Amino acid sequence: MAEILPEDGTAGTLIGRVQGKAGPCVVAVRAEGVFDITRSAATVADLCNAADPLALARSKGERIGSLEEAIPSLLAPIDLQAIKAAGVTFAVSLLERLIEEQT
Cα 50 to Cα 99: distance, rounded to the nearest angstrom = 26
What are the 10-residue block averages of pLDDT along the chain, 103 residues in total? 87 95 95 96 95 96 95 92 68 83 86
Domain limits, the chain: 14-102
3-state secondary structure of 52: coil
In this predicted structure, what is the pLDDT of residue 85?
Answer: 61
In this predicted structure, what is the pLDDT of residue 92?
Answer: 77
Identify the H or E element spanning 45: helix 44-49
In this predicted structure, what is the pLDDT of residue 80?
Answer: 86
Cα 50 to Cα 42: distance, rounded to the nearest angstrom = 11
Contact 37, 13 (CB under 8 A): no
In this predicted structure, what is the pLDDT of residue 48?
Answer: 92
Identify the H or E element spanning 90: helix 90-102
In this predicted structure, what is the pLDDT of residue 88?
Answer: 59
Cα 53 to Cα 40: distance, rounded to the nearest angstrom = 10
Which DSSP letter does residue 61 get?
A: -
